[in-house]
Amino acid sequence: MPVLVMKFGGTSVATLDRIRRAAKRVGIEVAKGYDVIVIVSAMAGKTNELVGWVNETSPFYDAREYDAVVSSGENVTAGLMALTLQEMEVPARSWQGWQVPLRTTSAHSAARIEEIPPDNILQKFDEGMRVAVVAGFQGISPEGRITTLGRGGSDTTAVAFAAAFDAERCDIYTDVDGVYTTDPRVCEKARKLDRIAFEEMLELASLGAKVLQTRSVELAMRYNVKLRVLSSFEEPSDEAGTLVCGEDQIMESNVVSGVAFSRDEAKVTIVTVADRPGIAATIFGTLSEAGVNVDMIVQNVSESDYHGHEGKVTDMTFSCPVDQLKRAEKALETAREAGGLAFERLETQTDVAKVSVVGIGMRSQSGVAARMFQTLAQEGINIKVIATSEIKISVLVDRKYMELAVQALHDAFELEKA
């Protein structure tokens, strides 16, 4: 029988009533003739509660025991879902990560999936099991310890299972009914997309859209796993949700498919560094070693003998998540004190936001940047930093103008129109 993967997030299994609702959806797919692998998250709020208990017990905790505790939330949901399906007379069993086994690296709380052998579950399907309810977010290390996959780990688990079992599709059930052209809470004209290309979804996810976790989209694109994002709280239908698929499965793309934004950005300028080969490698190598995720980068025009320095000097500006700013400052100051990096001072700004337009149609049509910059200029919004790729343009602006920028760009590219 064909295999279908269905993933239910924390809000979709937050109560027993919601678990029953989710189980009914699983039953519908079983009736259609699928063998179903259900990936479940912990009930909403449970993971945070477990993390809180760990922190209260031991501020400097053993990461192996952290994973043992935090992974238990998914185990509870998996068992409850299997019991609910059995009450509906659907042959179902729960599976913890080690039982599959879902093999991972040894990096506790941030493990990467290495292998999912399908034999154990396929054997049970052959013996009459119709639903395997798998605890998401967890696996087993080479040492035989429970591991967890980090933020968004259940989405990644679901896509990995779809790839390993050559599933027809991977349905991600959440509390939104699909992928929108932008956040409807910011722009009331936002429109739900019927389809979106993997590359567009990857850019939107990495730029601030919260619908899908970036790692899961990367995995789906690599293994060409069809993803469908849909709501647990709407009536099921074949047309529901948004299909994330290959570019070749989209007949005609808009030039721009969506506007993404991130409020939590910081801007850092390293004032007066030597303009010489290797300086960028020194700066961003230092930041990388400190675990700082650098995004937008601008190097100013060089000046000679500036402030008494010999040779050419320049300023280097970059953006990073605001919660990593202190780490970035400390890493750069430490490098300066150690003599590995010379600069005059650091200038930082935390009241900024990143706004981006994304679309695979940008590859074949010019003028997107001009229209974007003109639109922002007409609204009196100053651009601080610009970054581009083949299918996206991002700008850093004052945070107070973020919502205005999103709404203006959504209107300028007529994203409310199908």
Share of the chain above pLDDT 90, in %: 76
301 to 273, 312, 316: CA distances (angstroms): 12, 10, 10
First to last CA, the chain: 36
What is the three-class DSSP state of 245? strand
Lowest-pLDDT range of 152-156, 278-282, 362-366: 362-366
Give residue 59's pLDDT: 82
Question: Do 167 and 278 fall into the same domain?
Answer: no
pLDDT tens for each residue of 98-135? 999 999 999 999 999 999 999 999 999 999 999 999 99
Please say which residue of 128, 153, 175 terminates a domain.
Answer: 175
Question: Do 44 and 150 fall into the same domain?
Answer: yes
pLDDT at residue 225 is higher than 50 = yes
Bind-site residues for substrate: 47, 74
Question: Do 275 and 168 fall into the same domain?
Answer: no
**How many CA atoms lie less than 13 Å away from 338 in the CB half-sphere?**
10
Residue 206 lies in a domain: no
Question: Do 166 and 289 fall into the same domain?
Answer: no
Quote the tokens at residue 217: 């989209």
171 to 18, 39, 260: CA distances (angstroms): 17, 10, 23
Average pLDDT over residues 47-55: 94
Question: Do 124 and 11 fall into the same domain?
Answer: yes
Containing structural domain, residue 35: 3-175
- Binned at pLDDT 50, 70 and 90, residue 275 comes out as confident
What integer best gives the mean pLDDT of the chain? Answer: 91
Average pLDDT over residues 351-366: 90
What is the three-class DSSP state of 181? coil
The better pLDDT of the pair 418, 289 is held by 289
Question: Do 161 and 12 fall into the same domain?
Answer: yes
Residue 91 lies in a domain: yes
Please say which residue of 141, 157, 175 terminates a domain.
Answer: 175
Bind-site residues: 7-10, 47, 74, 174-175, 180, 185, 210-211
- Binned at pLDDT 50, 70 and 90, residue 306 comes out as very low
Give residue 170's pLDDT: 96
Question: Do 15 and 126 fall into the same domain?
Answer: yes
Pairwise CA distance, residues 410 & 224, whole Å: 29
Residue 303 lies in a domain: yes
CB 384 within 8 A of CB 267: yes
The better pLDDT of the pair 206, 178 is held by 178
- Binned at pLDDT 50, 70 and 90, residue 311 comes out as low
Residue 246 lies in a domain: no
Residue 243 lies in a domain: no
Average pLDDT over residues 401-405: 96
Q: Give the CATH number, domain containing residue 132.
A: 3.40.1160.10
18: closest CA among 232, 176, 194? 232
Residue 242 lies in a domain: no
Question: Do 49 and 142 fall into the same domain?
Answer: yes
Bind-site residues for ATP: 7-10, 174-175, 180, 185, 210-211
Give residue 304's pLDDT: 53
Q: Give the CATH number, domain containing residue 388.
A: 3.30.2130.10
pLDDT tens for each residue of 135-162? 999 999 999 999 999 877 899 999 999 9
Question: Do 160 and 277 fall into the same domain?
Answer: no
Please say which residue of 143, 175, 207 terminates a domain.
Answer: 175
**Total structural domains in the chain?**
2
Question: Do 43 and 170 fall into the same domain?
Answer: yes
What is the three-class DSSP state of 387? strand
Give residue 286's pLDDT: 95
Residue 113 lies in a domain: yes
- The beta-strand segments (E) located in 209-296 are 227-231, 242-245, 258-274
Question: What pTM does this model have?
Answer: 0.82
Quote the tokens at residue 218: 């990367």
Give residue 310's pLDDT: 54
Question: Do 160 and 271 fall into the same domain?
Answer: no
- Binned at pLDDT 50, 70 and 90, residue 78 comes out as very high
Residue 212 lies in a domain: no
Question: Do 11 and 154 fall into the same domain?
Answer: yes
